[in-house]
Chains A and B, each alone.
Chain A
């Protein structure tokens, strides 16, 4: 049995930031366990730029952004264990991992969960039709093209207007392939506006709103798909079916936080985010187990993952040093009126810093709206917002003084002027 102060599970942007911050707070024995042979997580296959705009005020590529944190981690002398996978964790913070050297049993004082997320697959959305090759997730295609150096198809259709889908549309065109269209399954683009402009508009790739794939055809390799328009309930409008010849279908239909380990440890999972319920310190329902990044809720910008993970790392360090008193009662953060969730889910005033960011997401498009924070019916604050869309997470900074006399639930709601778009 090996002993560590903090074990960070996952060496992507979240894990690296959490580990570096914990070390900076004076924690001696910090270990990062990464399943891949290199650190950086999914950033390593994101060779496009646009990373680091908030933190570094620069547009870095994914590998460049990752490298800055890998270098920092090495400078801080953090122990980095690659090509190693954690197979179980327990409530009392025992970690079991496996690698080519054998099986490792580790006792940690605190754990930070930063396992990221995985892509939804064809099976999860039950697209009918044949089962040929040529149907893959956008992320798998990205790995093949950017890491392995192989193309995945010549004539491609992309389902889901998520960020990876749009980025891959451009990537395929750059490799000489043809992208017939990117289909959005409703009237909302889940990805960032900048990706619509830079990846689709600039390359004349059609974006078809309210479309879905109703059949995949091809006995061996894919030969065509049948596409149809959908109504506001996302049901197919009969008579709008159209068949497109293509050899590849890329799916960008959502990301699912990877919480199999969290569940093993009995951590409570929020059905809305599919990630752990966390408090102001990014601590899960199990004391001393923290979580941050895409394992908690799917982010659209890596900079926010880094910021959130610094918070998790800092608080894991405080926990190890005995600086967090868990005595005060937590307020539940309850959202309503067009907000789909808020992270953190709980706030303990005793542990809250003077200033803190709330991460929120809306369910629909709102050109103009106000975020209103209330406690027991009394309004505490309101923040005016413009251009709210489900594809872009809202970061709202709040000060501790605001919640001075609060009791019970903290209610956050959206007040919409001019109705929804």
Chain B
């Protein structure tokens, strides 16, 4: 029996797993997909918010502020790109100016440092490409951008390095209390654990309902994005938001942690929790919204469009508490924006709750918080030359857009909790994430996966279990 089972290998489940791996515990992470970071965590803005948005005294406000502060250390430990590029909420009229003033005040109440209201002239000096009709903005210097995919994968990889176990392709179909713990079953397997953490994202309400009376509902909300080519780098340096509305923070224009530009999201509420499709109407909303903020933010050099799923709770706050009537079963649900930002604080908060619930926490003295990872392209010339000498595969560039070498890809496959799918390689080392979107390197990545995992080329999938790329040999 495991001490604790965590349902869901998104950013929250992975962070909780890592936090728990600091202690001597038998930890199991269950994920219905073939890899970590295949749901909400893979498709979002990648923004680390400053913390002026959530209403005072909410869990969101507290965890946002604490989470933001934890990012420098966390990103460094996990070798994940993170930049505090600052954010701007731009106002175009007096009403909006009043609104950003309100955000400023809320930020002060939430204890957010380095907030400032700036006027037209300073705004245009900071961001020369911004719509010159802007009157002013709220500048939040502590806001940042992170690679949410590499972050999620690194969190879980680190947990695995420190002894946690993962089961992929394990969709929890039932949970039953048994022997003072719980038995969790998929269609083919069964595991048991004394404690359970529900980090099931858009399915977290359904998972709660397997053991407890319904208490909350998660409404799936899609967000549409455009990702622009790195040739557009520099059109904005800050994360630029319009004034927020009731349904969200609006369509932003921001640099990504890797130097692309991201536009979005345009949101719509849908019923199907698996519907990650994009719609022309929403894409047009993004096009329009982005141009309004920054005229240069056109989609002429778009390299990808995508939609992400957000777990919108019907409560107005994160739900982090023991399930009613289900002892030792912790819900971490409704983690909408700023969930990514709050993640480090959520993990810590959750572990404290588990301790209060009776989970015994004895320090794992061997815990190593560091994930070492470097891509060939990010090394100095000297280091590059040395690396090629040591392993010639680092001299062969496979992804020409992002300059990712065969050595990088082999490492992505063979490191702890390595990639088993083409998208898994992409999220670990960026091969296929550039302007040709894997047009050139896709077949080669597939070959490397096939070779390293010792399985037939046509059994390699894109992301999900049946997402086959090839359909058998030619005549």
Contact = CB atoms under 8 A, between A and B. Distances in A.
Interface of A: 35, 83, 85, 87, 98-103, 118-119, 121-124, 126, 128-134, 136-137, 139-140, 143-145, 147-154, 175-176, 214-217, 219-221, 247, 260, 263
Contacts of B277: 128-131, 215-217
Interface in B9-37: none
Contacts, number: 139
Contacts of B276: 130-131
Contact of A87 (B226, B306, B403, B474): B403
Given A35-B400, A214-B280, A219-B274, A121 B437 contact: yes
A148 B443 contact: yes
B457 to A, nearest CB: 6
Nearest to B388: A102
A151 B393 contact: no
Contact of A126 (B302, B393, B473): B302
Interface of B: 226-227, 231, 274-280, 283, 299, 302-306, 381, 384-385, 388-389, 392-393, 395-397, 400-401, 403, 405, 435-440, 442-443, 447, 457-458, 461-475
A132 B395 contact: no
A35 B474 contact: no
A164 to B, nearest CB: 12
B393 A100 contact: yes
A263 B229 CA distance: 14
A129 B185 CA distance: 33
A62 to B, nearest CB: 17
A247 B395 CA distance: 37
Given A100-B393, A140-B443, A220-B466, A149 B474 contact: yes
A121 B474 contact: no
Given A83-B396, A154-B471, A247-B471, 8 more contacts: A121-B437, A122-B437, A126-B305, A128-B280, A139-B439, A148-B447, A216-B277, A220-B467
A151 B470 contact: yes
A220 B423 CA distance: 13
B278 A140 contact: no
A246 B99 CA distance: 50
Query: When A and B form their complex, which 3 residue pairs have the shortest distance between CB atoms, in order from nearest?
Result: A123-B304, A100-B392, A133-B462
Contact of B467 (A103, A119, A132, A145): A132
Contacts of B467: 132-133, 220-221
Nearest to B444: A143
A198 B463 CA distance: 37
A101 B388 contact: yes
A100 B388 contact: yes
A211 to B, nearest CB: 16
Q: Which of B401, B436, B447, B475 has the most CB of A within 10 A?
A: B436
A397 B303 CA distance: 38
Contacts of B439: 118-119, 121, 136-137, 139-140
A241 to B, nearest CB: 12
Given A121-B439, A143-B443, A220-B465, A99 B474 contact: no
A224 to B, nearest CB: 12
B457 A98 contact: no
Contacts of B463: 133
Given A83-B396, A133-B467, A219-B274, A123 B302 contact: yes
Contacts of A121: 303-304, 436-437, 439
B437 A220 contact: no
A260 B397 CA distance: 15
B457 A148 contact: yes
Contact of B306 (A131, A132, A136, A216): A131
Contacts of A145: 474
29 contacts: A83-B396, A85-B397, A98-B384, A98-B388, A100-B395, A103-B385, A119-B439, A121-B304, A121-B439, A123-B302, A123-B305, A123-B437, A124-B302, A128-B277, A128-B279, A128-B283, A129-B278, A132-B462, A132-B467, A133-B463, A133-B469, A136-B469, A145-B474, A148-B447, A150-B474, A152-B470, A175-B475, A216-B277, A220-B466
A144 B438 CA distance: 13
B378 to A, nearest CB: 13
Given A103-B381, A130-B276, A152 B397 contact: no
A133 B463 CA distance: 8
B296 to A, nearest CB: 15
Q: Which of B279, B303, B400, B447 has the most CB of A within 10 A?
A: B400
Contacts of B468: 133-134, 221
A185 to B, nearest CB: 15
A328 B306 CA distance: 52
B436 A101 contact: no
Contacts of A133: 461-463, 467-469
A214 B279 CA distance: 9
A76 B304 CA distance: 44
A180 to B, nearest CB: 16
A133 B439 CA distance: 13
A119 B473 CA distance: 24
A85 B303 contact: no
A151 B472 contact: yes
A154 B458 CA distance: 14
A339 to B, nearest CB: 23
Given A140-B443, A148-B443, A220-B465, A123 B388 contact: no
A144 B439 CA distance: 11
A221 B466 contact: yes
Contacts of B381: 103
